[in-house]
Amino acid sequence: MTLIVSHPWLAAFYIAAAVIGILTSIVKLPRILGLFELALHAAAIISIFYVKGEIEDVLLFLIFSAAVSLLSAYIKHAREEKK
Amino acid sequence: MTFNSFEFLIFYPIVLISYFLLPHKLRWVLLLAASYVFYMWFSAPLFFLILFTTVVSWICSMVIERTDSLAKKRLCIVLTLVTSLGVLVFFKYYNFLAGSVMSLGALFGAEFDLTISGLILPVGISFYTFQTLSYAIDVYRGDVKTEHHFGYYALFVSFFPQLVAGPIERPDNLLPQLRQEHKWNEADAYAGAKRMLAGFFKKIVVADLLATYVNSIYNSPETATGIGVIIASCMFAVQIYCDFSGYTDIAIGCARIMGIHLMQNFNRPYSARTIKEFWARWHISLSSWFRDYLYFPLGGSRCSSFKRWRNVMIVFLVSGLWHGAAWNFVIWGFLHGLYQIIGGLTLPLRERICEKLHINRKSLIYSVWQQVFTFVLVTFAWIFFRANSTADLIHLIKTLFVGWNVPIGEAVNAMGLTLNGAITSILAILCMVLIDRLVPHEEKPLENGAFLSDRVVTHGRGGVLVWTVIAAWLLLLTGDGASSFIYFQF
């Protein structure tokens, strides 16, 4: 997160990863979006290293992406179970 | 080799591919050879110990089946108990007992050395010993049929996914599955792979990351603060759960891909509302083993109140000792026994208090309170479990109550916990909680043939988890985070 303070444009990757993570739980997205998701994460990792970030920063981004994705999946799963 | 090693990444696919290519009648040979290779990777000479235990228990069980003489049956079961437990006690407890005797002697001015230097604890001995004992006792009781095929029995004892850290399997669950022919099944493969991924995530991303902060306190207790002990202990509670359940998930996943269903070992233990419930959710294979082979034979709860609580305390003292040859493990077990006794004795009083105060014991708030309180009790006990020595333990407990003269920010910084680290830890724990709820323990097929978890763990999400595991692994390789599994030391 401290890397975002010094390079605010990195926040765009976080927001994009969060949006895709939420969307995959809400709607059935075309398979091509899976490739886009992969490209997004790869671009984020490259960008982090480009601004001299470290593996901890990469890990933080990936965990954030996983957490948003899993949380939205859980919320949807919990709603379906209630029905 | 451990599950999170490069060697295992080569070993497992080779075994798996060979397993499905071989005809069924040769598969036990492959799995047995693979299991022994897996074990000997830790220590080749100690392989003879597991072989010795296997041979003695198998022969004794065969004699038990074939003889009508009760005296001979008893002799055989006693022989099995003595040899299996004897080996365990010698390798695991000899130096501990010798050290205790020496400390006692030193109090009276006697100086002598009874310890044996170089006595190593064989990996997995606590687990495979209990597994052979459950087989022998079940045969003696007539609860299971004797396995006449030595190869299948040896495989039951040494099956590599669960050999070194459980789950402690029962013969009526594992033996029939080892004998059964398993064809390649996509559903089993998918479920098993997801389970392994969940296990790797818990171990590498959550447990090993938290270990760096836990170690900063527990490996240097003299510099710890009160807030540091609390944070590190809470983190250790999560670390040990993720480490152990992560291992179990990988073990269950490995076996599942081969079509073998191992027993579940955890069921969201920190959701427990009482200590009794905690032990029905934590290390289920061990707690059920102690229930069936120690608690019930002692009389269980079908006796006087005094004997019932005596039996509970005996089980937990033995459980503490099973976990490690040190007094802090015994105290840990004693604490859990004490918790159960106090909980049981005060239950009528607590129910009356709730009735008088019109507290709804089935309400969500009450349930949350119970879970938090149980977590606090369990985490306090974990301090005893994690402390490196009795001296460290005393220091940590003292610091917990008096070490509050340092500002919280400074105390947290002293642990090496940065803002990045704190956010990463919180998100990782959140992921772990969600994975535990989203990767069902038993894949239930839906009406259209798909599986429930297909909806919630999509390929994309699985991909993110894989990348996270890889990133965490790389981070740990460059640092000095924990890499071995905690329960390997037992």
Residues of B whose CB is below 8 A from A76? 455-456
A53 touches chain B (CB under 8 A): no
Residues of B whose CB is below 8 A from A10? none
Summarised one tens digit per residue, pLDDT across range B37-80 is: 999 888 788 888 899 999 999 999 999 999 889 999 999 999 99
Interchain proximity A74–B434, CB inside 8 Å? yes
Residue of B nearest to A31 (CA): B460
Q: Please tell me which residue in B149, B283, B323, B358 is annotated as part of the active site.
A: B323
Interchain proximity B463–A37, CB inside 8 Å? yes
| Facing residue for A60 by CB, picked from B424, B458, B467 | B424
Alpha helix (H) ranges present in B357-458? 364-386, 390-402, 408-414, 419-438, 452-456
At B451 the three-state DSSP class reads strand
Residues of A whose CB is below 8 A from B451? none
- At residue B445, what are phi and psi to the nearest 5 degrees? -70, 145
pLDDT at A64 exceeding the cut of 50? yes
Sign (positive/negative) of CA torsion B179, B183, B184, B185? negative
DSSP letter at B203 equals I
CA angle B136, B140, B143 (to 5 degrees): 95
Interchain proximity A64–B427, CB inside 8 Å? yes
Gap from A56 CA to chain B (nearest CA, Å) = 7
- % chain B with pLDDT above 70: 92
Q: Does the annotation mark B323 as catalytic?
A: yes
A26 touches chain B (CB under 8 A): no
A16 touches chain B (CB under 8 A): no
Least confident interval from A14-28, B60-74, B252-266, B381-395:
A14-28
- Which pLDDT value is given to residue B420? 84
> pTM score, two decimals?
0.89
Interchain proximity B419–A1, CB inside 8 Å? yes
- Which pLDDT value is given to residue B456? 46
Band the pLDDT of B444: cuts 50, 70, 90.
Answer: low
Summarised one tens digit per residue, pLDDT across range B334-381 is: 999 999 999 999 999 998 999 898 888 888 899 999 999 999 999 999
CA distance B286 to B472: 30
Q: Which whole number is the average pLDDT over B381-398? A: 91
| Facing residue for A63 by CB, picked from B431, B437, B456 | B431
Gap from B443 CA to chain A (nearest CA, Å) = 15
pLDDT at B105 exceeding the cut of 60? yes
A55-82 vs B419-438: helix crossing angle, rounded to 10: 30
Q: Which whole number is the average pLDDT over B120-143? A: 91
Residue owning tokens 């460059």: B478
CA angle B90, B96, B98 (to 5 degrees): 85
Band the pLDDT of B165: cuts 50, 70, 90.
Answer: confident
CB of B485 closer than 8 Å to CB of B247: yes
